Structure 1
Amino acid sequence: MMRTLYSLAVLVSTTILSACGGSSDNDNTTTDLWQVSTDKSSTASLTQTNAPTLTQYMKFGLYAQTTSVGEENPTPTQPADSGTNLITPGVDEADRVKFSDRILYVSGKDADTGNPYLKRWFREADSGLTAMAALPLADPLKRIKGLYVDEGQLTVLGDDQQDYIGLLTTPAESVNSRTVVQLFEQGNAVYQLELDGALLDSRRTDDALWLVSRYRPHAAGLLGYAATEADKRHNMAVLQAASLTELLPKRRVNNAEAEPMFSADQCYLPADIQNNEGSSNMVVITRLSTSAPYQTQSACVVGEITDFYMSAQHLYLHSLVLEQTGAQTVVHKFSLEDSAAGYQATGAVDGQIAASQTDFMLHEKDQTLLLFNSVSGEEGPMHRLWVLQQEGDTLNTVAQLPNQQYPNEVIGKPGEAIYGVRFTGDRAYVVTFERTDPLYTFDISNTLQPRVIGALEIPGYSAYLHSVTDDLLWGLGQNITFDEQGEPVWNSASAKIALFDVSADDAVLQDDLLFSGQYSPLEYQHHSLAALHQSGTTRMAVPLSRFDDELGEMVSLLLLEVADNGVMQKVGELIPEYNQRANSWEARTVLIEDDIYFVLGDTVYHSVWQQPDQIAAQY
């Protein structure tokens, strides 16, 4: 099995950690320095570890790190609202704006002080908003990274880092950020949790909040870069003296004493590690029960992880391994059915996951995992659809496209990159682009025998795809023009919205809209979209951005209607007053009945669907 390792200029010793106490008086050579290597990533299955193995693995990883040159890191009584636009239905995601129980929550950072804010308004019977008392944020909370809200329970996620660009530090000198979770019940602060490590992202199911964080262990006194033999001996001594408890991340509940988040037997290492290898990279999966948040369960993987995908039943960590033969995507599968994330299986396929919104490139269906990725070739990236299925502790490849039986069912033309992906029901859709926008339709009704059943070429591309109904697919991207040499002229791009009829195998362009000189953050941030289906029509709100030579970014809100019969029309555009501190990336919208609440910066603009260009109130 191929590994990706890089060896370090550390001189020879096969002495294990417990035996490295130092050298004799007449042994002044460097032969007793640790010879270790850092396992950057592995395609092997994971194995449950124990305290001695975990301790050695992390200590060797820290030692190797310091001797390297450096490293490249709705209630039934309330009307329906648009809610947060989700990747997987039923799996909630944190966002800066939430609405529940007639309360609108808006979080962000004060532009003057850099301090976080959390504002809330009560929606009155006349649809107006009344400001409510501020909620006291925990002292360690310096930056809010997202909110969850359900039935009067508000969860605030953040960390202890300011939104400023810090000075570069050496690996051992860098201080782990601390994830902060604060829980409010009916407006009262009832719970505060601090976890060592930087929050990668989170998800929420009916019974639990799931946090995925990165952590790098540290030992007091460890030198950041050990260039000399004396420095290396110093670091060896520091690490020999360090206990496992010192290296593990801690949790603090309601400002109580810190305690380890987990024990060694809740950690997993690659099953093929060698005795002289180590890693100082750790990813931690933590479960918080929504009914009893004091009960946290964590599991850890020591190694490189890029990102994760979560369905309602499983969580998949994935990483990139660079082999001599090319890149590989490695996936680790965890079950969510128990009180803690339980490791199940690992698989690897050729290629790497790359697109504008990679979260949409993995999908669980019928006990299989489907994923799109790209393999480098002489003529540019070659794209693949892989289907993985668990057998024992291995995720085996049980299907792929193209394949020997269907070699011509290729995804994209030479040189085209993947821009948009959407799985929905028994179909998957992929957009690739270099000069035109091929929209590929896949039949995944039988995941063991996927097929390409249609391809439509139109100008431009769609970077975000949204299923309106089973028969209608909506896309947002850009329309691109080309110069005489056939090269794209990107500064002439226009925001493009396309509606496709996908009732048959071959998609048909139903309608499209162009917005000259404008762009939408929805290309990269799916939370930008608000969509609400009612009475046979889907109402959609999309932020648009254009740049003014004098003022900079100008942000507006486009309102659209898509009828179930395939008719799309522009309703209007909400154009707020210019705010130099607002940006389109953080723009959010909540749709409730005929009301539009457009959040730009820390200001809420209220309008109504029938006259969106007339701002009724500003809060």
Structure 2
Amino acid sequence: MKKKVLAAGLLTTAILLTSAFTPVSTNAGQETIVKLEGQPITFASQPRMIDGVLMASVSDLANALEMEVTWNDAERVAVVTRNGYELKLPVHTDHAYVNGQATTMKGTTQIVDDSLYVPLRFFMESADQIVRWDSATSSVSITKPADSLPVVGTYDHLVTLLTQNESKGIVVNSLMGTSAIAKSSTTSSAPAVAGSAGVAVQDSARSVAPEYSGTNVQVQGVDESDVVKSDGTYIYTVNKQRIVVTQAYPADQMKVLSILDFPKTQNTQFQPSEIYVDDKHLIVLGQSYQNFKPVPYNEAASSSTSVGITGKRMISPIRSQATTKVMVYDLTDRSNLKLVKDAELEGNYISSRKIGSSLYFIANKYVNYYQYRELTDMEGMKKELAPSYRDSSAGDSFTSVPLDRIYYLPKALEPNYVLIGGMNLDHLSETMNVTSYLGSGQNVYASEENLYVAATKYEEQQQETILYQFGLNNGKAVYQHTGKVPGHLLNQFAMDEHNGYLRLATTTGEIWRTDEGTSKNHVYILDKSLKEVGSILNIAPGERIYSTRFMGDRAYMVTFKNTDPLFVLDLKQPAQPKLLGALKIPGYSNYLHPYDENHIIGFGKDTIEVENKSVAGSQSIAYYQGMKVALFDVSDVNNPKEKFTEIIGDRGTDSELLYNHRALLFSKERNLLSFPVTVMKIDPNLATSNPKNVASAYGSFAFQGAYVYNLDLEKGFQLRGGISHLSKEELQKAGQHFYAGDKQVERVLYIGDTLYTISNGFIKANDLTTLEEKNTVAIP
């Protein structure tokens, strides 16, 4: 029996008469101001804090959103509805049902002063409202998404969306390409440190842990996953499809504590790729594969564009489902790690970020509509075309995302689903939030408040980057705005959010063209609604961006063709950005890292420019040489200078740092700079006997390991030495292209006065001052 309830009193009277629950006694405390679209909500029953959660009357919240509330006597639940939306709220539970889907709330429905109370944030966010808390004024601001994305809605509409781009000939880069997430840049001069001394810990070894280095992230405050993490006492590594936990501090007691294996079965396997560590948990992210039994398909349909044609049935081969999997382990006993939660998103792992206790991870699922349309089971086909997810908090089975809860990105439409999962690591019993979008993107960027999906679209030989903005709130991403800029982005460092503005660096055109279609580089500044407010256009025609770094009110850009121009840009006035100065030097920088507000470090390659006689007009060509590290002085923004340089090896020398910033260890306070490098050197006799070929000649293997430098503004780069996991005999026997294998150093970090280098085969501890070896542990 259902009765429509028009007032809070009627609803609560029905509940009290049909349940054995008693009202909860609470203190009203300070009155909280709640505003909807800037206007205060009038409450018949005032919101109040219950067990640390802001709760409000169901009837008051429903009235504010012009929803209807009914009471279901049989199920003892309040039902909130509007335009096809339905929220079921059972009494005295932390579970609710949004459009039939079970969801965990932070908080429990309560009966307070004759009214049914529900967590305010959950109620509003389940209705797609954006909720923000202002601790300074003890107020809540609720707003509708500034814009809205269209909904897939039905199977027929999905089929239309999946096939329409083929006829238009539009190509959009997939999330399977480069992608990253990063927090906005600030003027911070040092990389973020994931941990430090003085943190409350559970074991005595960690209680005395000294200062230690963390992962080098784009900006302090947002952690990035990596293959190596440390908490100041232990080192955690992704090691040949395993997770190895090593007690690293103190160095003389270093030992492997435990190894976490992921056994393969006939039908499933898990491949870890990156990890996070905090005081309580080890979080492992990676790719999971599960094989399915053969499924029938329609042979006749394979030659027809229609769906549902009956005919001879065949059996398709065994297929595999790829999922992005997150596994959370309790760190109470590091010698015996306990799995406390795991969750999966269907699709390939793209990237992730950890902001406080909120973990965000992103997957991309390719939709092969032409394969699925051969299925004779229409209901099965609909299920196959919808993305799915699983959370151990809700059980072992996968849940399909309903088509009426899937949005699509109309300007970046492609047969892919972008799935964003979020979980609160402080409340692992809650099910993760999942949002799904039909479309694609090339780069993903996140600040503390917003996430941006950027898709570069190529149409009629023109490049355009479409931007989709999502608000982040406790593990949930809610769509807000769409914007666009000409050109394509290089990587995560080409985007930055600062003081409410999004800044981007793009390249248009092609570097090989000499007409009006030649490459040009630009910087755009967008407001909160992703509308353009300022720009600097046509920087370095004929070249392309190799690296960008936004630092507060400035930006630094490196372009390259034959020489390396470093541009300094003033972005203090978003509507009137200015190009201040440029420095042209040989070589280029792949990665720029702040030293302080007036100095920046560039990591890249040196080059030699030679005449190209085979091309009419005697154009020159630049051959890259050894690795180049430069310290730029931008004190005079109109005249930047290359203050110090360091050239490492010859042509063929390489470092992971050139394409992965997380490989860098830098501490300005300790004058410390270190990174893994493979050094190649040319035989000195070659330079003497055949100097014309030196520019294009590759060197032979000379070293693999970590180079360690002192760096200051007086003496520049001072090489203190190299730490290798290869023996002297192995180095002596190395040929021209030696492969270090499990002894290849991948990361460098410090704990106290000890420098640690990590490879798949060893962890080596060296004195940070003298570089003398303290201890080495072999990883079995």
Instruction: Return the offset for 1:138.
Output: 7.0
Q: Which residue does 2:492 correspond to in 1? A: 359
Cα 1:283–1:335, aligned 2, differ >3 Å: closer, same or farther? same
Q: Counterparts in 2 of 1:526-605, with a 5 A limit? A: 526-534=661-669, 537-547=670-680, 554-563=703-712, 567-577=716-726, 578=730, 580=739, 582=741, 587-605=746-764
Asked if 1:411 corresponds to 2:539, the answer is yes
Cα 1:281–1:570, aligned 2, differ >3 Å: closer, same or farther? same
Distance (Å, rounded) in 1 between the aligned partners of 2:699 and 2:566? 38
Q: Secondary structure at the match of 2:492?
A: helix
Q: Secondary structure at the match of 1:527?
A: helix
Q: Which residue does 1:150 correspond to in 2? A: 278
Instruction: Return the offset for 1:325.
Output: 6.0
Distance (Å, rounded) in 1 between the aligned partners of 2:608 and 2:460? 38
User: Do the aligned partners of 1:317 and 1:332 also contact (CA within 8 Å) in 2?
Assistant: yes
Instruction: Return the offset for 1:152.
Output: 3.1
1:460-482 superposed Cα distances (whole Å, 9 cap, x missing partner): 11111110111221111111112
What amino acid is the match of 2:706?
L
Asked if 1:286 corresponds to 2:421, the answer is yes
Q: Which residue does 1:160 correspond to in 2? A: 288
Q: Which residue does 2:249 correspond to in 1? A: 124
Asked if 1:211 corresponds to 2:211, the answer is no
Asked if 1:474 corresponds to 2:601, the answer is yes
Distance (Å, rounded) in 2 between the aligned partners of 1:327 and 1:585? 39
Asked if 1:500 corresponds to 2:632, the answer is yes
User: Do the aligned partners of 2:152 and 2:408 also contact (CA within 8 Å) in 1?
Assistant: no
Instruction: Return the offset for 1:614.
Output: 5.0
Q: Which residue does 2:129 correspond to in 1? A: none
Q: Which residue does 2:482 correspond to in 1? A: 346
Instruction: Return the offset for 1:176.
Output: 3.9
What amino acid is the match of 2:260?
L
Asked if 1:525 corresponds to 2:525, the answer is no
Q: Which residue does 1:610 correspond to in 2? A: 769
Cα 1:57–1:282, aligned 2, differ >3 Å: closer, same or farther? farther
Distance (Å, rounded) in 2 between the aligned partners of 1:585 and 1:326? 42
Q: Which residue does 1:307 correspond to in 2? A: 443
Q: Counterparts in 2 of 1:79-478, with a 5 A limit? A: 79-109=210-240, 116-126=241-251, 128-137=253-262, 140=268, 142-161=270-289, 175-186=320-331, 187-217=337-367, 223=371, 234=374, 238-239=377-378, 242-244=381-383, 247-253=386-392, 256-260=395-399, 262-270=401-409, 280-293=415-428, 294-324=430-460, 326-337=462-473, 339-354=475-490, 358-376=491-509, 378-379=513-514, 380-391=518-529, 395-402=530-537, 410-412=538-540, 414-478=541-605
Distance (Å, rounded) in 2 between the aligned partners of 1:321 and 1:70? 8
Structure whose alpha-carbon radius of gyration is higher: 2
1:63-88 superposed Cα distances (whole Å, 9 cap, x missing partner): 67999999994243332222111123
Asked if 1:59 corresponds to 2:175, the answer is no
Instruction: Return the offset for 1:592.
Output: 2.2
Cα 1:238–1:61, aligned 2, differ >3 Å: closer, same or farther? farther
Q: Secondary structure at the match of 1:80?
A: coil
What amino acid is the match of 1:144?
P
Gaps of 5+ in 1: 1-44, 110-115, 163-169, 225-231, 403-409
Distance (Å, rounded) in 2 between the aligned partners of 1:287 and 1:63? 30
Q: Which residue does 2:197 correspond to in 1? A: 76
Q: Secondary structure at the match of 1:242?
A: helix
Q: Which residue does 2:140 correspond to in 1? A: none
Distance (Å, rounded) in 2 between the aligned partners of 1:562 and 1:49? 53
Cα 1:251–1:343, aligned 2, differ >3 Å: closer, same or farther? same
Distance (Å, rounded) in 2 between the aligned partners of 1:58 and 1:240? 14
- What's the % identity of the aligned pairs? 23
Please identify, of 421-430 and 124-133, the stretch whose mean Cα deviation from structure 2 is larger: 124-133
Gaps of 5+ in 2: 1-145, 177-194, 199-208, 291-301, 303-315, 332-336, 613-618, 682-697, 731-737
User: Do the aligned partners of 1:329 and 1:351 also contact (CA within 8 Å) in 2?
Assistant: yes
Distance (Å, rounded) in 1 between the aligned partners of 2:527 and 2:610? 46
Distance (Å, rounded) in 1 between the aligned partners of 2:168 and 2:485? 29
What amino acid is the match of 2:225?
A
Please identify, of 251-260 and 502-511, the stretch whose mean Cα deviation from structure 2 is larger: 251-260
User: Do the aligned partners of 2:251 and 2:775 also contact (CA within 8 Å) in 1?
Assistant: no
Instruction: Return the offset for 1:509.
Output: 1.4
Cα 1:79–1:265, aligned 2, differ >3 Å: closer, same or farther? farther
Higher RCO (CA < 8 A, seq sep 6+): 1
Distance (Å, rounded) in 1 between the aligned partners of 2:398 and 2:536? 48
Please identify, of 138-147 and 56-65, the stretch whose mean Cα deviation from structure 2 is larger: 56-65
